[in-house]
Structure 1
Amino acid sequence: MNNLVSELCSVLNFQKKLKYKHDISTSLLPFYTRNPERVKFTEGFGSVVGVIARKLNGESMEITQKPFELGSTSLETIVDTEIVVKLFDQSNYQQMQSAKLLQYQPLATDQQSKGEIRLGLFLIQLLKLQDNQDFVDAFKAEKPVNLYEKILYESLADSNENTPEASIAFTFYDNEWFSGCFSSDIKHFLTNKDYFYQHIDELLEFYYFTYVIQLISRISDTTEHQTIIPLYFTLENEPVSQSRLSIQQGYQLVYQHGQDLLIDMDVLNYLNALIPDNCFYWKSQILDENFKYRMELLVNLKQFIEAYREQFPVTKLADIDFNYNSLSSQINILRLILEKHKGATDSRYAKSLEEISQQGYLRQHGRLGRVFSLSNQTILMLTAAIVGSHKMLLKDVFNALQQRGIYFDRLTREQVVRLFERVNVLEKLSDSGDAQYVKGIL
């Protein structure tokens, strides 16, 4: 048995009792198979921003949030203590536009905090935040800038716990694309610091959401795609019909891929564990006729499937045709074996897609089912990030939205144009549609 095959069999504990381990070769998403650690965004996206702010400042990503105590500060006042405590309540300082206080966005008080930390690390790597100096500088306030911050910071300063932190390395199908778009957006955001602090959580949440749905849409694809797969959205409160692209090529497409997400992840991880290379390869690359490790993988995968087959009663796999004629048939056999054991773990893993989709990106349309949808606020936030403080041709704004994973059909585009008109950011230099500009919101 080849060493790579032997190592993978050992990881899955074939010698004793089969274990269903995931993320063997790499981690592709920050999802968990267990419910307690799954991020449910009960307090919004602020906790994840806090993780990112602390990591960029070289501090512990974990934080133990203690109630404000007047005695732990230098504040001297004759005002009733209860009133002062209310003034410095967590709900107040979390809304402050302060780089320093972003570091003190607390984590969830339960196991969900593990998921929040993992998600923060995921975004740092996806968007290359540590290499984005504009972004890093926005979180680099060394001292409080006003009296309120100073008093609050004195109370919070000892809340950090320096606990050992595991390092997680994620693999992305194209994070150069996403980090490039994000870097452009951040340059525009930072021309208005108040706007940056008010909306940075929304922008980070959006990039997490759009990358997730793009990855899930391509995870099982056998052919190469362009960087962005067209996924269609509607605007909030917009009526839809069966013929709309948002029904045909939107949430339902991603949902169908998502139901077997963990199986697709495991297939990719197993294949890469059997390839004699440290690089990670996607399914479309592996099935390319010119894939340089094609012959080695054919041999290794057949050996692994035969070893895997021995872990089950013959009757369990009786309906599978063990045809080893081609690499694609071998991969299909592996997938069919994994499908035999699809259970609660798989469905729980996919729930992370539902959790982020329900943060304002999803609407129910009766018998037509769910569709991806964006609120007016999200449209305007993304427009501010794209256009900045100048102006841009309307068609270029729509193109930029597509670059970020947002596609609209003709009817939704008309709704967006009406929104721009209502908020007075659409400038028409002539009756021609080519001469319409979107003015800067910032």
Structure 2
Amino acid sequence: MIVAQIRADLPQASKDVNPSNALSSYFPIRTSDRKNKEIFDWDTVLGFTVKNAYRKYQELDVEAFKSGVEARFIGKLVGEKFWLVLDKMYFEREGFYNIAPEFLLFKANKKQGATASSRLGDMYSSLMQDFLPTEKLNVSMNFLERELYEELKEQLKKQSGNKESKSKKNEQVIGNNEYPYLPFLTKHFQQDLHFLEEHPKYLLSKFTDFLRLYAVLYTSQLALNLGSWREGKPGPKRCYFILESEKASEERTNVKDFGFGQLNRAMHNIFPYLAMSDSLQIPKARKQPIWKLAQQLQESPELAEKLSNYAEAFNERRGLDQKIVQTKDPLAALEQLLKLSKDEFGRGMSKHSINNEYVQTIQRELCSNFIYSRGRIGKVLVINQDYLMLLTNLVIGKQEKMRFHELVLAFESRGVFLDKQSHAALIEFYERIGNVEKMSDSGDAVYVRKTI
């Protein structure tokens, strides 16, 4: 029998229930962030994402790296004047970041906003799970870039030899502190990262866009799947986007019913559900998604009483005045607790504005590039041409071309749904940039090529 990861010390009395809500897993935004703007520095997020991917836990010293590079060049080049040119090119203008993805490790150094940015980096680590970068990266470098790369390897070698670094590496295995909440998206994230690795220059030019794209995919699919925890392992939920060039209208029922409005409502579950899930689980143990917790609870009916007692204590301590049912069904008990957590932030409650502001922060910080206002229909989810081409290249991946119908299904498997009107606009877009191939007038015989 699987033992559910429910805390043995769940509070039994209202006085033992901590009045503060805490969220420490599966999402990078905290309620304290809601009063701040631009909480994420995307350069720093890049650094933490690469840092976690390469399992490097200490900061790299830019000045030590620069000194090492200078020593290399002074020893191989005549005079110091040429070094001044290189210094300006690679350090003053930060050109070394464009050599290879590993150089982005320097962006993870501590600075303002690093805490929030590291949490966002952890979100991508949760998506990566056991992903490991390819050891030998296929990057074309000139003589100068090769010297910088060799010096970076020396710096990393020194770091890996540090005893503190080794112990830290043993303590912190990226991806092991959280089971994936969205296994289908984790699979795609890993697949897309491996594809980008094979095109490192493209990766460097599109890395921020890639992370921003997956931020909205993860956020939307997490929000839409949270309420379906009884259904088991999540799958892609309908979430309709339109193209930037399109007009939105009331007649587009999928865009209206399964677009921004649906997502906005679902986002109000993120904090209450995840905070309650956190409070139920054993501290410092590997966190489990609610759907996985529910699966385990089905095999642990004896926990129903403990969860019901916690619901009574929670209800009284938070002043919710809801009717609590003592049940022998652990899933009913869990459902009751999740409803209580959501009710705490419901209309008419003192904390209602907190969750509203939290959702606004999510939309501003993680989804702003994909939310547009379009006349009478209001806000809609939009994917612009840059993100559309990036997604197209990722989906086609190692293939040279893909049948349009299969491309659309691959979009949907990542959480991007388009209606029939958008399909027509999408084909027009591909024709305009010249990467579509029509074998006949039939829509099934339309192929799309990648642009890299």
**TM above 0.5:** yes
For the Cα contact (< 8 Å) 2:41–2:117, is it kept in 1?
A: no
Question: Could you tell me how far apart the structure 2 residues matched to 1:403 and 1:336 are?
Answer: 29
CA shift digits 1:299-350 (9 cap, x unpaired): 11222233334536xxx444x3334467267336633663345256544543
Matches within 5 A, 1:201-280: 201-221=208-228, 223-224=230-231, 227-244=235-252, 245-271=254-280, 280=288
The Cα of 1:251 is off from its aligned counterpart by: 1.9
CA RMSD of aligned residues (A): 4.2
* Alignment counterpart, residue 51 of structure 2, candidates 40, 51, 54: 54
Q: Is the counterpart of residue 131 in structure 1 residue 137 in structure 2?
A: no
CA shift digits 1:105-156 (9 cap, x unpaired): 355721x21122222233223123x434xx3436699xx8632564698699
The Cα of 1:189 is off from its aligned counterpart by: 3.4
Question: Could you tell me how far apart the structure 1 residues matched to 2:151 and 2:34 are?
Answer: 33
Matched AA of 1:19: P
Question: Could you tell me how far apart the structure 1 residues matched to 2:143 and 2:152 are?
Answer: 15
Q: Which has the higher helix share?
A: 2
> CA separation of 1:139/1:255 partners in 2, compared to 1, >3 Å: closer, same or farther?
farther
**Identity, % of aligned positions:** 18
> CA separation of 1:70/1:387 partners in 2, compared to 1, >3 Å: closer, same or farther?
same
Aligned to 2:81: 78
- Segment drifting more, 360-369 vs 345-354: 345-354
The Cα of 1:234 is off from its aligned counterpart by: 0.9
Query: TM-score if structure 1 supplies the norm length?
Result: 0.78
For the Cα contact (< 8 Å) 1:214–1:228, is it kept in 2?
A: yes
> CA separation of 1:27/1:333 partners in 2, compared to 1, >3 Å: closer, same or farther?
closer
For the Cα contact (< 8 Å) 2:196–2:203, is it kept in 1?
A: yes
> CA separation of 1:345/1:86 partners in 2, compared to 1, >3 Å: closer, same or farther?
farther
> CA separation of 1:72/1:93 partners in 2, compared to 1, >3 Å: closer, same or farther?
closer
- Secondary structure at the aligned position of 2:57 is classed as coil
* Alignment counterpart, residue 356 of structure 1, candidates 359, 366, 373: 366
List gaps (5 residues or longer) in structure 1: none
- Secondary structure at the aligned position of 1:371 is classed as strand
* Alignment counterpart, residue 308 of structure 1, candidates 307, 310, 314: 314
For the Cα contact (< 8 Å) 1:393–1:434, is it kept in 2?
A: yes
Aligned to 1:96: 98
Aligned to 1:8: 10
- Secondary structure at the aligned position of 1:412 is classed as helix
Q: Is the counterpart of residue 18 in structure 1 residue 18 in structure 2?
A: yes
* Alignment counterpart, residue 386 of structure 1, candidates 395, 411, 422: 395
CA shift digits 1:221-240 (9 cap, x unpaired): 36427510010111113211
> CA separation of 1:374/1:279 partners in 2, compared to 1, >3 Å: closer, same or farther?
closer
For the Cα contact (< 8 Å) 1:425–1:438, is it kept in 2?
A: yes
The Cα of 1:41 is off from its aligned counterpart by: 7.0
For the Cα contact (< 8 Å) 1:188–1:386, is it kept in 2?
A: no
Matched AA of 1:147: L
Matches within 5 A, 1:75-224: 75=74, 76-78=79-81, 86-89=88-91, 91-93=93-95, 96-107=98-109, 109-110=111-112, 112-128=113-129, 130-132=130-132, 135-137=133-135, 146-148=143-145, 150=147, 167=172, 169-175=177-183, 177-221=184-228, 223-224=230-231
* Alignment counterpart, residue 291 of structure 1, candidates 288, 298, 308: 298
The Cα of 1:364 is off from its aligned counterpart by: 1.9
Question: Could you tell me how far apart the structure 1 residues matched to 2:54 and 2:256 are?
Answer: 43
For the Cα contact (< 8 Å) 1:428–1:437, is it kept in 2?
A: yes
* Alignment counterpart, residue 407 of structure 1, candidates 404, 414, 417: 417
* Alignment counterpart, residue 427 of structure 1, candidates 434, 437, 441: 437
Count of aligned pairs: 418
Question: Could you tell me how far apart the structure 2 residues matched to 1:272 and 1:29 are?
Answer: 16
Matched AA of 2:244: E
- Secondary structure at the aligned position of 2:314 is classed as helix
- Secondary structure at the aligned position of 2:434 is classed as coil
Question: Could you tell me how far apart the structure 2 residues matched to 1:180 and 1:298 are?
Answer: 34
> CA separation of 1:140/1:105 partners in 2, compared to 1, >3 Å: closer, same or farther?
farther
Matches within 5 A, 1:310-389: 310-311=316-317, 316-318=319-321, 320-324=322-326, 327=332, 330-331=336-337, 334-335=340-341, 338-339=344-345, 340=349, 342=351, 346-347=355-356, 349-350=358-359, 351-358=361-368, 360-388=369-397, 389=399
For the Cα contact (< 8 Å) 2:249–2:376, is it kept in 1?
A: no
Query: TM-score if structure 2 supplies the norm length?
Result: 0.76
The Cα of 1:64 is off from its aligned counterpart by: 6.2
- Secondary structure at the aligned position of 1:28 is classed as coil
CA shift digits 1:170-217 (9 cap, x unpaired): 232332x22332343344434433223322333233223212210111
